[in-house]
Structure 1
Amino acid sequence: MTTVGLLYPGHAAEDDFPRIEILLDTDIRLPLFSTDPGEDAYRPDALRERGAAGRIAEGVEELRLAGAEALVWASTGGSFGLGWEGAHEQAAALARTAGLPASSTSVGFVHAVRELGARRVAVAAPYPEDVTGLFAQFLASAGVEVVAAASGGAASSAEAGSWEPERVKRLVLEADDPDAEVVLIPDTSLHTAAYVPELEEALGKPVLTACQVTVWEGLRLADRRMWAPRLGTLFATREPVRGSQEPKGIEVRE
């Protein structure tokens, strides 16, 4: 059995993770602790506060007792809002607190893009434009080029969590660009686990969603590879692209 502990801010789309457990259909377990998100607002200051060390550390002991072998801070904005260096410092602090390998959804997106051997992406985000721009800057700091982006204008996680699949699909189609090798949907507040292959079929290219990437990143840290095409191309790649493998361990900096 492999157990990946998830620290998730508040309540929005956390039910995607039990769904992913079912789709993996194996001995992987994803215990989740809901942290206090603070003010639920898609603003840079609120996102930075959401990712404060004290808030994230709140659930560490519970997840350790649940047998977690690795931890992932399952928030995109709560990590990219700190910038590239800040997100790595956040993950390293979490790892030291837990005594376990740790990462975040935002850092996981970069690793997942590299896993697929891509460099140019499109971003379909429910955020306001300024917050989407922060994610694009985060990716650029990692050498990932954002060639197109679409912002849904949601004001909060609660609002994004209420979106129906058709609204997400419209945003993804709006964001796509012929030059993009992959399309990224960077918000763990969106329900997406049930239809990643459908999105990929519509676009003719890989799609990376926040909840999917969160689980993949945790399994990467636990050194567990999974073949589960019902979760999209990221889980249908049997071997990593040459040179794409990332370091593992307590210190998650690259």
Structure 2
Amino acid sequence: MAVEYAPKGLIGLLTPQANTTVEPEYYILLPQGYAHINGRLMSGKPTIEERLVDYVDKLDHACDQFANAPIKAVAVGCTGASYLVGRERESRVLAEIERQRGVPAFTAATAVVASLRQLGARRIALASPYPAGLTEASKGYWESQGFTVSRIASAPMDHTQFHPIYSMKADTAGGLLHELAADDTDAILMLGTGMPTLRPLLAANASSRVPVLSCMLCLAWMGVSLADGQPAPLEPWLKGDHWKSRLPQG
């Protein structure tokens, strides 16, 4: 069943409660004919680590927000939770959602894994917006998926803002890429769904000798691939063929 603004596919998108980046970037990244509806991952836990794990504990309940909308997939716009609960638990939770809801479910992290495998990448460099503990958990997650993390560049965090990650600027992400550009890797990955990445992603892929990905780009690519029933080629996505004209000017 198609809906007016999504004749090619409607995606159910779950976004962390205070995240200000997932929805606008997903809207920009989706090609014409696809759309998303959004639900929020909610938690009252006091620390970021506790909230991220709580999101996973409540993930099936969060899907109730989509009710009977004719979505073709559930996209979880969060990577930090994957790092903390680990690959095996993440896989079990997603499989149970698919069993109960009848549509595939994936996280930003599993979308990145699928993207890297399509590219044949094994050695990856990470641009991280996270505090040190979460960055280290991220490294462990990617290694559990069979990748070698060759280098990490971390962004400075401003704790005076409403959120140290969601308040970051795209220039911060771009600066991290410069630190990683000389490393001998198969791909560079900008971590997280809260740090704005689209402008630096586009600029980097115009000149980088290796592909540069973001978790948000992979999240949108995976949603479209599942809606279509087959993986889309990644290269046009990395070049911004269908989405660069939609970036706000200025």
State the one-letter code of the partner of 1:152: A
Query: Within 2, Cα distance between the matches of 1:65 and 1:71?
Result: 13
Q: Report the equivalent of 2:167.
A: 162
Give the equivalent residue in structure 1 for 2:42.
Answer: 36
Q: Which runs of 5+ in 1 are unaligned?
A: 237-254
Q: For residues 213 and 157 of structure 1, do their structure 2 counterparts lie closer, same or farther at Cα, with a shift above 3 Å needed?
A: farther
* Alpha carbons of structure 1 residues 107 and 225: separation in structure 2 relative to 1, 3 Å: closer
Q: Which among 87, 95, 100 is matched to residue 84 of structure 1?
A: 87
Contact 1:196 1:230 in 2 (8 A): no
**How many angstroms apart in 1 are the aligned matches of 2:102 and 2:65?**
13
1:27 maps to what in 2? 33
Q: Root-mean-square deviation (CA), in Å?
A: 2.6
For residue 157 of structure 1, report the CA deviation from its aligned partner. Answer: 8.8
Assess if the C-alpha contact under 8 Å between 2:15 and 2:40 holds in 1.
Answer: yes
2:134 is the alignment partner of 1:131: yes
TM-score (norm 2): 0.81
- Per-residue deviation, residues 142-183 of structure 1 (Å, max 9, x unmatched): 111110012225469932121111111112222344311111
**1:225 CA drift (Å):** 4.7
Deviations 1:114-166 (A, max 9, x none): 01111110011100122111111111111111100122254699321211111
| Superposed displacement of residue 201, structure 1 | 2.6
Equivalent residue letter for 2:225: R
1:17 corresponding residue in structure 2: 26
Match in the other structure for 1:246: none
Which of 109, 122, 126 is the aligned partner of 2:125? 122
Q: Shift of the alpha carbon at 1:65? A: 2.7
Cα separation, partners in 2 of 1:83 and 1:11, compared to 1, 3 Å: same
1:185 to 185, 190, 193: 190
Alignment partner of 2:238 out of 219, 232, 237: 232
- One-letter amino acid matched to 2:9: T
Listed one character per residue, the Cα deviations across residues 69-104 of structure 1 (whole Å, up to 9, x for unaligned) are 111211100122111112111211222332211111
Q: Which has the larger radius of gyration?
A: 2
Q: Distance in 2 between matches of 1:172 and 1:41?
A: 28
Aligned-residue identity in percent: 22
> Aligned partner of 1:130: which letter?
G
User: Residue 136 of structure 1 contacts residue 146 of structure 1 at CA under 8 Å; is this kept in 2?
Assistant: yes
Superposition deviation, residue 41 in structure 1: 4.4
Instruction: State the partner residue of 1:48.
Output: 53
Mapped to 2, the partners of 1:177 and 1:124 lie a distance apart of 13
Partners of 1:89 and 1:133 in 2: CA distance: 23
- Aligned-pair distance for 1:57? 2.4
Q: 1:104 to 1:20 in 2, by over 3 A?
A: same
Aligned residue identity for 2:103: L
